[in-house]
């Protein structure tokens, strides 16, 4: 089954690559739609891993279980009743690819081990410089950026805005009203003009977000 998913994801990249554009994924939530552009040239293993979960339907019906204004919205790991969804093996951390955790970028969530990311991801709501790769040490390895919101950043901000409380196994930051990813699928055609190059330059604004780990 795992081999079949890898082949399916690879086939998706070939079809999109033939068009000369980065692949895009449409994420439909109960608060609106977000379109994500992926960067396979900068983070090939991470993008392939993400697309395996997309193609298998893993993300459909999962929560944004952690939302913090001016920081991140994180999801892709739990059902609305907080059941943890099984995952594939962890993917190697490609945070040293030159991409920065800037506002609107898509990154992999993980535990303390730099190479522990599986399915969970987050969207940066601000420039979170402390999440960037600094050096090859667990405390400073950073979180891999592998895409960017190209449509629906207003929806991402909307997801991060409602009140939060405790929920399931989490002591805080869970939206009081569930935010559900209803469907995630490869976009047949680009929904917005794709970036000509992946972002590499960080804005000068200092992040106001909490300096806490974004766990997977």
Residue 215, pLDDT score: 53
**Burial code of 138-176, b = ≥16 C-beta within 10 A, e = fewer?**
eeebbbbbbbbbbbbbebbbbbbeeebeebeeeeebbbe
**Rounded Cα gap, residues 216 and 213, in angstroms:** 9
CATH code of the domain containing 53: 2.40.100.10
Domain span including residue 123: 2-186
- Please report whether residue 198 resides in a domain: no
Handedness of CA 164, 165, 166, 171 (dihedral sign): positive
**Rounded Cα gap, residues 178 and 81, in angstroms:** 10
- Please report whether residue 194 resides in a domain: no
- Please report whether residue 216 resides in a domain: no
- Please report whether residue 212 resides in a domain: no
DSSP tag of 207? P
- Please report whether residue 193 resides in a domain: no
- Per-residue pLDDT in tens (0 to 9) along the chain, 216 residues: 433 433 444 444 444 443 458 999 999 999 999 999 999 999 999 999 999 999 999 999 999 999 999 999 999 999 999 999 999 999 999 999 999 999 999 999 999 999 999 999 999 999 999 999 999 999 999 999 999 999 999 999 999 999 999 999 999 999 999 999 999 999 987 765 544 444 433 333 323 333 334 555
- Please report whether residue 20 resides in a domain: yes
- Please report whether residue 84 resides in a domain: yes
pTM for the whole structure: 0.82
Residue 10, pLDDT score: 44
- Please report whether residue 206 resides in a domain: no
Q: How many domains does the chain have?
A: 1
């Amino acid at each position: 089954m795992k081999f079949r998913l890898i082949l399916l994801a690879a086939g998706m990249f070939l079809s999109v690559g033939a068009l000369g554009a980065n692949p895009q994924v449409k994420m439909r939530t109960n608060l609106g739609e977000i379109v994500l552009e992926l960067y396979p040239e900068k983070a090939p293993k991470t993008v392939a891993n993400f697309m395996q979960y997309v193609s298998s339907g893993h993300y459909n019906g999962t929560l944004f279980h952690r939302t913090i204004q001016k920081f991140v919205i994180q999801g892709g790991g739990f059902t609305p009743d907080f059941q943890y969804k099984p995952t594939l093996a962890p993917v190697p951390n490609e945070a040293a690819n030159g991409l920065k955790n800037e506002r609107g970028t898509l990154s992999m969530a993980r535990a303390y081990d730099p190479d522990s990311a599986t399915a969970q991801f987050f969207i940066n709501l601000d420039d979170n410089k402390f999440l960037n790769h600094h050096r090859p040490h667990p405390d400073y390895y950073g979180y891999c950026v592998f895409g960017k919101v190209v449509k629906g950043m207003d929806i991402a901000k909307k997801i991060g805005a409602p009140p939060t409380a405790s929920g399931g196994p989490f002591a805080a930051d869970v939206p009081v009203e569930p935010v559900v990813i209803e469907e995630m699928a490869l976009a047949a055609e680009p929904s917005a003009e794709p970036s000509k190059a992946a972002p590499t330059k960080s804005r000068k604004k200092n992040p106001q977000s909490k300096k806490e780990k974004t766990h997977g």
